[in-house]
A and B are shown apart, each in its own frame.
Chain A
Amino acid sequence: MTLRAGAGKTTALNTILGLSPFDGELRVLGRDPWGDRSALMRDVAYIADVAVLPRWIRVSHLLTYVAAVHARFDRARAEGLLANTTISRASRVKDLSKGMVTQLHLAIVMAIDARLLVLDEPTLGLDILFRKQFYDSLLVDFHERNRTILLTTHNVEEIEHVVTDVIFLDRGRIVLRASMDEIDVRHREVRVRPEHVPPARRLRPIDERDVLGQSVMLFDGVALDQLADLGDVRTPSVSDLFVATLHAGAV
């Protein structure tokens, strides 16, 4: 899911995770998230927000407690993930830096063998090195286990090589829902040569922007051979598509 602020992401996630009531029908892994939250949490792991770990708890106590109440938590795995960090088992959460708290929470969540993993802005406040490591291990994890990972982020560039499907939400409405393969096939970005701008516009681009005096247009479902003569064609990045889609929606 990729969204801008206020799009309805938190509401959507809270509903999926059984934190908020809802109208209508919703099943997560076959369960009613609102009525059956604690049972659902045996199969779901999530980070719903940054800095929610209790500040008073010791790292070692935290691991012990989660291991005691969560049948699918693998403490050895969490310890292994923490071994790459400088987090001491004896520290309290309040004595850790913001980035360390995030690392700790990620280590716990990644050590839960959940069928659904929900990560809301998981890398906020992490340095680039740890982000890269995190996404690499997320990918490995995804391929090793049969699980669904639902991830939200404002950093679209960071995830476009990781995700299989994207949903764009704007003001509570889904504005684009596609697999990455579909996006590769359907969407084209063309740097249109000035003389071709009128015919290009007739092909109804979903977005047009001006880059250094040249018109850059984004097309959805227009055949490649129709576009090739207009200018330089390339596959847009997810972030380009995101901006274009929201831009189009705002007009």
Chain B
Amino acid sequence: MIRHFVWALRRELWENRWLYLAPLGMAGVLVAGFGVYAINLPSHVAAAATLGASRQRAALLAPYDVAAGLMMIAGLLIGSIYCVDALHGERRDRSVLFWKSLPVSDLMTVVAKITIPVVVMPLIVWACTVAVHLAMLLASTAILAAAGQSALPVWTSVGLAANSLALLYHLLALHGLLTAPLYGWLLLVSAWATRAPFAWAVLPPVAIAFLERVAFGTTHFAHLMLSRLSAGLESMPTPAGGALLDSMSLMPLSQFVMKPTLWAGFAVAAMFVAGAVRLRRSALPL
């Protein structure tokens, strides 16, 4: 059972190599971009040294925040695109007939597919982000050393080890688990739509938000969607003036697992997954 599940995940990564190649490419672009920015790093660091401790830290941390944020956005996009195609593509290319000739249940297939954006993607984004941060730190060290400056303030501001753990928690909790309903919805549409699954995935939520605005003058639905899309950042307590990497470690795990929105989200995601399993059962080539 577990073995079959692991193979199902591996199969997804074989089929969708861009799940890790795209973040790797993004990581390369970010490191190259930082290389351009870092030409002036010695003067930035010198300028930051004149600020107070917390503002110095924020200034030095800023490029690392930007890199992490861009990687996260890329991860959300990749996960969403993957889901929209996951159950539509196999019907479009007729391979669903082959997959269904193997003793792998529809439940196993769909659960493996939603595990990709909920668990695997956050892990890939995490590994790439940590690698980018490390490369940025090493480049900074070299550039600052060439200018005769110490890189110590940068290393202490970034705090790679602690921040990497916080980042992992943030990615798994918010981009993975809290976003599960969104991915579930996309999988359901992917299993249901005969054509244009992307349009079917996007238009109904937009239409609901629009109707709500017109009929009641409120934006609860749109707000709910956006807060899920921004990975629930708004529901996280943010320190005043704190940087992104700081805000991640704030909610203790014990508090996170008690969040009603997490469990409500799971219930909704489970409903969508159950629907997708049902549709997969009768899925035939398009």
Interface residues of A (CB under 8 A from B): 14, 17-21, 34, 37-39, 41-42, 44-49, 51-58, 61, 65-66, 68-71, 105
Contact = CB atoms under 8 A, between A and B. Distances in A.
B102 A57 contact: no
A45 B94 CA distance: 17
Given A19-B284, A61-B14, A65-B11, A41 B94 contact: no
B237 interface: no
A45 B95 contact: no
A219 to B, nearest CB: 42
B57 interface: no
16 contacts: A19-B100, A34-B281, A37-B100, A41-B100, A41-B101, A44-B101, A47-B101, A48-B101, A51-B94, A52-B285, A53-B98, A54-B15, A54-B95, A65-B14, A69-B7, A69-B103
A100 B257 CA distance: 52
Given A68-B3, A71-B103, 14 more contacts: A19-B100, A20-B284, A21-B282, A41-B103, A49-B94, A52-B94, A53-B95, A54-B90, A57-B14, A61-B14, A65-B10, A65-B14, A69-B104, A70-B102
Contacts of B94: 49, 51-52
A70 B8 CA distance: 12
A245 B11 CA distance: 48
9 A-B pairs with least C-beta separation:
A38-B105, A54-B95, A41-B103, A52-B97, A42-B103, A52-B98, A68-B7, A52-B94, A48-B97
A48 B97 CA distance: 7
Contacts of A41: 100-104
B106 A38 contact: yes
A41 B17 CA distance: 28
A134 B14 CA distance: 31
B227 to A, nearest CB: 36
A70 B99 CA distance: 12
B58 to A, nearest CB: 45
Given A38-B106, A66-B102, A69-B104, A49 B97 contact: yes
Given A68-B3, A69-B7, A52 B95 contact: yes
Contacts of B213: none
Contacts of A52: 94-98, 285
Contacts of B14: 56-58, 61, 65
A20 B281 CA distance: 8
Contact of B104 (A14, A38, A47, A54): A38
Interface residues on B, range: 20 to 34
Interface in B71-85: none
Nearest to B93: A55
B15 A56 contact: yes
B100 to A, nearest CB: 6
Contacts of A70: 102-103
Chain A residues touching B, majority SS: loop
B4 interface: yes
Interface in B103-117: 103-106, 108
Which residue among B3, B10, B100, B104 has the maximum number of chain A CB atoms within 10 Å of its CB? B100
Which residue among A18, A61, A65, A70 has the maximum number of chain B CB atoms within 10 Å of its CB? A65
Nearest to B98: A52
Contacts of A54: 15, 90, 93, 95, 98-99
Given A38-B106, A68-B7, A49 B285 contact: yes
A48 B11 CA distance: 22
B95 A55 contact: yes
A61 B281 CA distance: 25
Contacts of B7: 65, 68-69
Nearest to A72: B103
A41 B102 CA distance: 6
Interface in B1-38: 3-4, 7-8, 10-11, 14-15
Given A38-B106, A70-B102, A20 B97 contact: no
Nearest to B94: A52
Contacts of B105: 37-38
Given A21-B282, A54-B15, A54-B93, A69 B101 contact: no
A49 B91 CA distance: 13
Contacts of A17: 100-101
B22 to A, nearest CB: 16
